[in-house]
Amino acid sequence: MSKSGKISYMGMHASSTILHGLSERLDRVEEILRREPARAVAEATELEREAGAAAAWPEAARAARLAGYGDFYGSRLRDARLSFQRALAHLGRYGGDRAEESRVRSGLGGALYQLGDFERAFRELARAVRLARGAGDAERIRALNNYAVALSESGREDEARIAIEEAVQIASSDPVLAERYRITLEVNLSDSYRALGRKDEALAHARMAAGFASSSNDQIGIGTAAAAEANALVALGRNAEAVERFRASLEAHRSLGVSIYAIDAAAEFARLLLDADRVGEAERVVFEWLPAAESVDALNAPDLLRAAAGVHAARGRYREAYLASERAGLLERQGGPAAARQAALETVADRSIRRAKATRRRFKRWQDVVLRGLVELLGERDGETRDHVERTAEIVWLVGRELARRKARPGFDAREVADLALIAPLHDIGKVSVRDAVFGKTGPLDSGEQGEMRAHAEAGRLFFRRAALDGIKDRHLSLAADVAGAHHERWDGSGYPHGLKGEDIPFGARIMAVADVYDAIRSERPYKRSRTRDEALEYVKANAGTHFDPAVVDAFMAVEPRVDALYEGGAAAFGLPSKKKAAKGR
């Protein structure tokens, strides 16, 4: 500060009184940003002008950033992009600081993403995360959250979940941060649990977010939380309640003008209404939000266009239905989820696509080596264990392929089956933590030994979760953690380690449970004799709906003759699906 009481930036001066007044007014803009984004933009733009005239560049940067977020919330994405770019220019005039630059680049990345400029978006979002590491916990939470949303929408669910969990972990250590980001984090946790199939938890987190948003009169939070609640209710099959929550979500967004978050909610709501043959209401939702979607939301516009095609078809307007469907396909190729996923693969700084593919191939070879090595590690303790993990992997492959053929679960396809078969041999990896004296005991285990043996499930889950938290980014880790941790859970909730029940049990673990138990019954162990095929079949059938998911049991019974061949002394080779089989499945 100069002797005259003025702060100097690049040779220009602003009095401390002016700066204090600007800072207080910017604080007030930040308070109304999520309640009244249009008003916030107008006031922030005026403050940016005043700060620029006074050469108060940090305040000018903050004002431009707030205007950018206001425009973003109001779906004026091109204006938002320009505001964020002005903020970066102001930062450059005084050297900037990591925290403010992280905030600006995070917002710019979000705007670029919704505009369909995915490659630049991922670069900006990744840079925001890097800057935030040295800028404090609040900035890390903000940057991780925005990056996680983009990852999730581009299909990179495992990486998104890891980013969200890191943000939650940071926030949980500071009550002030937990309070500030509670709505956003609860909504993202809801979406994450829904993707995991843990629908009741998804609904609980969405309702917590709704309560927080209502108490703070946060209109954007009210709209996003209601949509998260509606999506969780749809997953639970409670569609009538979901309709009301979608209506509440759109009403909250409608009060803001055109909200960027409304378009995704409108697409989901229209799909639900069409499935219920409520064509009239679906038509009103689609054609209210479609114009905004086509102009500002490259990612979700194809979904609304497909809903429009469904409306046209239901009304007998087949030519219009065809044109809307074709338009959806065109937009999706140009800027939809497929384009987002492709851009996500190209975010490694300054690397060509060829080099990225080569890197992935090398990683895949190492991954195969590590997987096989872990399986061998289990087998070193007991030859029967090696046979068990190989047979159960083959059973999982056969049952999973039958379930995919039946379309037993949305999104469970040939690729998911191949991934599940790949990690199935590691379902008992936690047993490396069990003492040899317990692992190889020939008699019954006492209560303490039983507890030690049962602990292998949680030990296996933590093994894979720690790998994910250590920064290893691979979609198999989350699946492996689910299977290792939950394959001893039971459909009726009486299993271990967490007493999960029904649909709360990860789908892969339900398949693994049938394979694991069936093979255990037919296998000789140090403490028991092997049993017959008929005895194993009787147990599986009798425990459908208590121990096992009935749908998985039905699929297992359909392929059991092929499963039985694994036990016929060489009549069929067993082991992991071959590369040829896996390639065909994908």
115-166 pLDDT, tens digit each: 777 778 888 888 888 888 877 788 888 888 888 877 776 666 677 778 877 8
Highest mean pLDDT among 100-104, 152-156, 193-197, 546-550: 546-550
Handedness of CA 186, 221, 166, 299 (dihedral sign): positive
List Cβ neighbours of 454 (8 Å cut-off, separation of 6 or more): 488, 496, 497
Residues in the chain: 586
What fold characterizes domain 354-585?
Hypothetical protein af1432 (1.10.3210)
- Longest Cα–Cα distance of the chain, Å, equals 95
Break the chain down into helix, strand, coil percent, rounded to 5.
75, 0, 25
Torsion of CA 356, 357, 363, 367, to 10 degrees: 140
With bands split at pLDDT 50, 70 and 90, how would you rate the model's confidence at 429?
A: confident
List Cβ neighbours of 362 (8 Å cut-off, separation of 6 or more): none
Structure tokens at 386: 């090696």
Q: What is the pLDDT of residue 203?
A: 93
With bands split at pLDDT 50, 70 and 90, how would you rate the model's confidence at 260?
A: low
What integer is the mean pLDDT of 66-90? 89
Using the predicted structure, report yes or no on whether residue 427 has a pLDDT greater than 60: yes
Q: What is the pLDDT of residue 482?
A: 92
Note the pLDDT tens digit of each residue in 287-334.
Answer: 888 887 766 555 567 778 888 888 888 888 888 888 887 777 776 655
In terms of pTM, does the model score above 0.85?
no
What integer is the mean pLDDT of 247-265? 78
Angstrom distance (rounded) from CA 214 to CA 551: 40
Higher pLDDT, 335 or 399: 399
